[in-house]
Structure 1
Amino acid sequence: MRFVVFSILIYIFIPFTCFAQESKAQTPESYYLIGWLNNWDQQNKDYPFVLQDDGVTWKITVSCNTDDGWFKIVPSSAFGRSDFWKNLLCAPYDGCQELSGEMVVDGGAWYLARTSGTYTIEIVPSEFRYHITLNESIAQSFSGTLPVLYINTENPVDSKDNYVHGSCFLNVPNGSAYSPLGSEEAPLSLWIKGRGNYTWSAFEKKPYRLKFEEKVTPMGLTQSRHFVLMANADDDYATLRNTVGFELSRLMGLDYTPSQRPVELVLNGDYKGLYMLTEKIRVAHDRVNIVEQDNRETDPYNITGGWLIEIDNYDDDQQIRFCESNGEMLRFTYHSPDTLSEEQYDYLSDCLKATDAAIYQTDKSSTEWEEKIDMDVLARYYIVQEIMDDCESFHGSCFISKDRGFDSKLKFGPVWDFGNAFRRDHLRFIYDKPSFSQSWIGEIARYPRFQERVKQLWWHFLSVNYSQVDTYIDEFINQIAEASQCDGIRWPQYKQDNINGRKDSFKWNLSRKVQFLTEQWGAYDTGIKQSTDNHAQEEWFTLDGRQLGERPVKSGIYLYKGRKVVVK
């Protein structure tokens, strides 16, 4: 019998052959193993379970010599019945990795991994219970094209609240541009715990937070003790949501964008698939470069900064909460400092409430909100979110910083979570009928000065940067292609198969949104024109989008009213 088997890995639906033990004499109600995806055989009784001496337990041992696949169990009484499919015994799909559990009727399947050994499957139909024994370990299967991060811990990593101590080392393939980190003989000490909210609770492929004992620079990332392993289990666009969102942030010239590197993870001997080793957002001179404020500070000047906060969509003890002027709840989680004095709490609360009041001025020619928020930085941040059609962008994982100083402004960024990018059918602005409440941005978008700055930066992006994105996507997909296939085998439910097809779908969504924004904000005229006229000072920009205080005195190419202009 040819069929596919099951593991904690991908939808590879290549049939393969399994061999069962010789069965004892069967009772009238016997049980048989059958396979799936276009290979279910409603008549095949070649793979029977064996009734054990206790009279209630049935057992079969299978050895699989090719790929992974799915199994269901059928009672003999179901053969030949019109409702055959409604009488199968299965494991629930959402628990199919479990090696023990309760069977259900229909609605699921077992998925067992390829192995050089055998699986023994035991069922007690009268109790709807099953147990699976792996007689030999699953062969590790990583691509060999990416660095592999090995982490071993003293205890299981099952919490995002408590660190577990462990050690790690990073192996790199031959010819890699990166250097190894530690070694199997001399691993580095670290602590690891879970991270995330929805991504931690909703997926079996978990994201992790790492804290090294000493500062490291893995694969050229900025030196730190703090990094994140992003699982991207929620990204069925070939890991492109965060990757392209981060690249757009860099192209848009935001002060700091977290860097990331693709790796394959082996945790306590278990291959976990493709991850992105990512710089954690934190206050540091080469990350969010602001003054680091002490916890429980009370000095009136020192408490003006630095602040690293986040517009959040989860309640947290470390938050300031109040209603936005449109009636929506605003949650600001403070990350640095993370333990506040009364003076710090009052200062931050007053600052944020004053900002909200300034944003909701009736007079949209007012510039009061610009005294609170750096408009140029916000415009760049906003454009990135619009290009990615991130309908959760100003709802959660929306970071804001403020440096020290009575006149310092709130700066949006760094970008972080693009997990909800391109999840809508309708083309519209992210604040227009959003899937999630979008704090502040819908009201700010009503200010003509903000919209004008957005258009200026948009024209620059179209003329200088947009052409780079397509090549960047292709190069990234080529880099991770084989590792993504291995990840798909490990986690079939997260749809990492057909990576090039998923890349094309992502590109289609991206180009569709860019076309929409071009229709709204205008296309850039790439024609270069000569100019010696003394144009209005405030409309001159450098090619990287910086507004000039006066007409340029140096010769060169500049932006004027959305056009490239040569100044002699």
Structure 2
Amino acid sequence: MKKIYWFMIILSSIIIILSCVISIKETDYEEAVIGRLTIECMMDDKAIRLVLWKDESEDRFYLFLPSWYAKKDKSMTFRYEDWIGVLRLDGETVRNRDVWTDDGNEEIHTLEVYDRKGVCHLESTLQVLTSENLPALFVTVEDRKDLLKFEKFDNKKYIEAGTAIMMDEQGDLLWDERLNKFKVRGNLTATFDKKPFTFSFFKPREVLGMEPALKWNLIANATDGSYIRNKVIRDLAYESVEAYEPQGEYVEVYLNGEYQGLYLLTEAVEIAENRIEIDPENSWFIEMELDFRAREDTTQIITDRGQIFIVHSEDVLTKEDLGIIERRLNDVESALFAEDGISEKSGKALEELIDLESFAEAWLIEELSGDHDIGITSQFAYASREEDSLWYSGPAWDFDGIMGNVNTPMYGVPEALTSIICMSRPEDNNNQNRWLAAMWKHPEFREIVIQKYCSVFRENYKKELDSGIEEDIRVIRRSTLLDTLRWHTERKDWWFTVPEELQDIKDKKDRQGEDYHCFDTLDEHVAVVRNFMSEKLAFLDKLWIEQRDFCVVEVRNPAPFLDQGYNQTLYYWVERGTALEHLPDYEHPDYSFRGYFDMETGEQVENGYVVEKDCVIEGIWIREVDK
């Protein structure tokens, strides 16, 4: 029995040893060492732990340091399991708990991982990059991977709790809080790798000078290569509107130590103290929404003319509640589309149903921005449940698809009133700009719009153009460069529109010795914003201040090779008696272009054509095989 006993012990030991040997041989040393490596930075008695980011397309590693390191000794403590493998930087062994110092000159260090026998399993590089001017938000959640997997949560309902530390650009601690919720937000943008987030505290608190509140949003600006569109319009709305408009401040975000990039941290659109301060139990809060998003929403309301709304409410709404809201919205709609502005349903005038001033402000914000979502989504309104109360518009929200960065071409033309166009999508699409277009037909509404432009909005818009943009870029320029590096393999696919100067940009999978500055496209994108604002300002001054006489040329482009899922029609406002310019010139190898023709007279229209009246022209293309 003793022999059998000792035999079993020896056999078990051999099996354990063999298992360990096999395990060591099968170890993924990059994952075991680099994947579990944390780099600890001490600031204001807080231990901030960061991780390396690997650029898979280049097989390089980067460490992104927050802004306060720009003027600080770049010493950091490495923490990892050095019994598995050993890390070497520039040929020197760096063990667990060793302090390593970067010289701050963005030197490219050699990075190697060796096993315990001295065999090298990884040869790569490490570059340490430091930001400037911005506060940093460090969020820690239990399961980062599940949080970021879009397919892992239903309708963005996957929620993590966690902690968050906010430090300013000098490294001073602003706050250290537990988070009640942290989750992905957004619609289209939620499908991108650079996710937008929303988070909430257990109790209201102030953030970056903004009023205390529970809920906050992190806007990724993934579709906006300029990073400033949301900020510019938020600042314009905040300065121009007396009612609540969400503010936002730039911040860099780290999630479980990994750099996520540059974000705009904003107040949320919600009924709450320091937000929309109305009584939620005695008010309705609604939003225009796209049909495919609203379809599964139990609060969906579709008006008689097809305008789609959803109702935001903490309480479950009854059929009676929804019926009351629907009746009131149809009452407004009836007045909107009546020539005399009187509702056929209640006999009330439009100004007895909606607050013309707040809707004029919302209309102007949409027009000045060239928003491709005007009148179909992210348009909010609220009203008291009292029968004779008015609907108020606001606040403004969601401005990444504006100022030339648009999926619908008409909104890329600044020298036109695009907010008056009802058919903002193809004819068979349910999502149309019905309401805001109809408002413009009413003289009282037009008068308020023009008055507000001349007395308030014009000055603030020009201020953003002249100095606001410059200040934003000064603050974020360095951070945009790091963000473009972090997401460079996907960014171009996220933009709604690629600036002309970048049309031929190559996907830089092989940089051939170029450093990360080669991904910088900020100035080209900012130029698009500046040009749009300059041309929009000049046009509206001519139209509303100088009161020049304009004709509208509707340019239809039914070319089969264009994406007809979006309305390809353009609108040019041309001063009467002057030449039409900038007609689009679309080329395709399978089609030849015959020209644009006046649909009333059949006359061919080209650049230089003198416009004397409103007209509709249409392009004609012939398929080569049909010629």
Q: 1:278: Cα distance to partner?
A: 0.8
Alignment of 1:200-349 (within 5 A): 200-201=190-191, 203-236=192-225, 238-293=226-281, 305-313=282-290, 314-315=293-294, 316-325=296-305, 329-349=306-326
**Native 8 Å contact 1:142 1:271 kept in 2:** no
Structure 1: distance between partners of 2:307 and 2:122: 50
Match of 2:439 in 1: 444
In 1, Cα distance between equivalents of 2:381 and 2:112: 52
Q: Deviations over 1:437-486 (max 9, x none)?
A: 21301111111111111111111136643442221111111111111111
User: How far 1:213 moved relative to its partner?
Assistant: 2.1
Do the aligned residues in 2 keep the contact of 1:151 with 1:167 (CA within 8 Å)?
Answer: yes
8 Å CA contact retained: 1:401, 1:410? yes
Give the Cα–Cα distance (whole angstroms) in 2 for the partners of residues 278 and 502 of structure 1: 22
Matched residues in 2 for 1:437 and 1:111: separation? 44
- Maintained 8 Å contact 1:148/1:170: yes
Could you tell me which residue of structure 1 aligns to residue 174 of structure 2?
180
- Between the aligned partners of 1:406 and 1:162, the Cα distance in structure 2 is 39
Code of the residue aligned with 2:383 in structure 1: it is: K
Farther-moved stretch of structure 1 (365-374 vs 152-161): 365-374
| Structure 1 counterpart of 2:529, one-letter code | F
**Matched AA of 1:451:** R
Amino acid of the structure 2 residue aligned with 1:199: T
Does 2:347 correspond to 1:353? no
Distance change (3 Å), C-alpha of 1:170 and 1:136:
farther
Q: Report the residue type matching 1:450 in the other structure.
A: F
Q: What residue is the counterpart of 1:104 in the other structure?
A: none
Any idea what SS the aligned residue of 2:419 has?
coil
CA gap of 1:487–1:142, structure 2 versus 1, over 3 A, is: farther
The question of 1:468 aligning with 2:445 is answered no
Q: Distance in 1 between matches of 2:334 and 2:233?
A: 30
Distance 1:455 1:262, change over 3 A: same
Task: State the Cα deviation string for residues 221-274 of structure 1 (Å, max 9, x = none).
Answer: 2211210111010112x2221111111212322401111111101101210000
Distance in structure 1 (CA, Å) of the matches to 2:474 and 2:193: 26
Which residue of structure 2 aligns with residue 373 of structure 1? Answer: 354
- Looking at structure 1, the residues matched to 355 and 401 of structure 2 have their Cα atoms a distance apart, in angstroms, of 26
Is 2:180–2:199's contact at 8 Å kept on the other side of the alignment?
yes
Q: CA deviation at 1:507?
A: 0.8
**Cα RMSD (Å) of the superposition?**
2.9
**DSSP 3-state at the match of 1:387:** helix
Percentage of matched positions with identical amino acids: 26
**Gap runs ≥5 in structure 2:** 1-29, 31-53, 63-108, 114-120, 426-430, 493-518, 548-627
- Cα 1:189–1:142 change in 2 (3 A) is farther
Structure 1 counterpart of 2:538, from 515, 530, 541: 515
Does the 8 Å contact 1:207/1:230 carry over to 2?
yes
Q: Deviations over 1:270-312 (max 9, x none)?
A: 100001111111112311111121xxxxxxxxxxx41221101
Q: Give a deviation string over 1:334-378, Cα, whole Å, max 9, x none.
A: 113452123322211211122112211133588712211110111
Q: Measure, in 1, the Cα distance between the counterparts of 2:319 and 2:219.
A: 35
One of 159, 164, 173 as aligned partner of 1:163: 159
Which consecutive unaligned segments of at least 5 residues does structure 1 have?
Answer: 1-60, 62-96, 100-109, 121-132, 294-304, 525-568
1:189 correspondence with 2:170: no
Aligned equivalent of 1:419, options 392, 400, 407? 400
Residue number in structure 1 paired with 2:9: none
Q: Which amino acid aligns with 1:189?
A: L
The match for 1:149 is 137
The answer on whether the counterparts of 2:140 and 2:256 sit within 8 Å (CA) in structure 1 is: yes
* Aligned-partner SS, 1:222: strand
Contact 1:254 1:413 (8 Å CA) reproduced: no
Mapped partners of 1:462, 1:221: distance in 2: 23
Q: Secondary structure at the match of 1:336?
A: coil
Matched, 1:491 2:463: no
- Cα distance in 2 between the residues matched to 1:135 and 1:190: 42
Which amino acid in the other structure matches residue 398 of structure 1? Q
User: Could you tell me which residue of structure 1 aligns to residue 87 of structure 2?
Assistant: none
Displacement of 1:162 in angstroms is 2.1
Indicate if the aligned counterparts of 1:199 and 1:233 stay in contact, CA closer than 8 A: yes
Q: Which amino acid aligns with 1:514?
A: L
Q: What is the number of residues matched between the two proteins?
A: 387
Q: Is the 8 A contact 1:307 1:337 kept in 2?
A: no
Whole-Å separation in 2 of the counterparts to 1:225 and 1:140: 35
The answer (yes or no) to whether the contact 2:61–2:125 under 8 Å persists in 1 is: no
CA contact (8 A) 1:311 1:331 kept: yes
Q: Which amino acid aligns with 2:321?
A: Q
Q: Deviations over 1:103-122 (max 9, x none)?
A: xxxxxxx34444456599xx
| Change beyond 3 A, Cα 1:453–1:200 | same
Aligned to 1:409: 390
1:127 paired residue number: none
Taking structure 1 as reference, are residues 337 and 345 closer, same or farther at Cα in structure 2, changes over 3 Å only? farther
In the alignment, the residues of structure 2 paired with residue 465 and residue 392 of structure 1 have an alpha-carbon distance, to the nearest angstrom, of 23
- Whether contact under 8 Å (2:218, 2:266) holds in the other structure is yes
Partners of 2:458 and 2:401 lie apart in 1 by 27
Does 425-434 or 444-453 show the bigger shift?
425-434
Equivalent residue in structure 2 for 1:199, among 159, 168, 189:
189
Name the CA distance, whole Å, in 2 between partners of 1:408 and 1:312. Answer: 23
| Counterparts of 1:464 and 1:174, CA distance in 2 | 34
Return the offset for 1:330.
2.1
Q: Which residue identity does 1:320 align to in structure 2?
A: Q
The structure-2 alpha-carbon separation of the partners of 1:134 and 1:242, relative to structure 1 and needing over 3 Å to count, comes to farther
Distance 1:512 1:464 in 2: 15
Q: Which residue of 2 aligns with 1:84?
A: none
Question: Which residue in 2 is equivalent to 1:9?
Answer: none
Give TM-score scaled by structure 1 length.
Answer: 0.63
Distance 1:380 1:491, change over 3 A: same
| Partners of 2:217 and 2:266 within 8 A in 1 | yes
Is this contact kept in 2: 1:364–1:446, CA < 8 A? no
Q: Distance in 1 between matches of 2:386 and 2:483?
A: 48
2:265 aligned counterpart, secondary structure? strand
Q: Distance in 1 between matches of 2:201 and 2:318?
A: 29
Say which structure, 1 or 2, has more relative contact order (CA 8 Å, 6+ apart).
1
Measure the CA separation in 1 of the matches of 2:128 and 2:182. Answer: 22
**Matched residue SS, 2:286:** strand
Distance in 2 (CA, whole Å) between partners of 1:138 and 1:210 is: 32
2:339 corresponds to which of 357, 362, 374: 362
SS in 2 for 1:390: coil
Distance 1:386 1:343 in 2: 36
Residues 523/458 of structure 1: CA separation in 2 closer, same or farther (3 Å cut): farther
Distance 1:523 1:419 in 2: 31
TM-score of the aligned structures, taking structure 2 as reference length: 0.57
1:255 aligned counterpart, secondary structure: coil
In structure 1, C-alpha distance between the alignment counterparts of 2:451 and 2:521, rounded to whole Å: 38
Q: Which residue of 2 aligns with 1:67?
A: none
Shift in Å at residue 208 of structure 1? 0.6
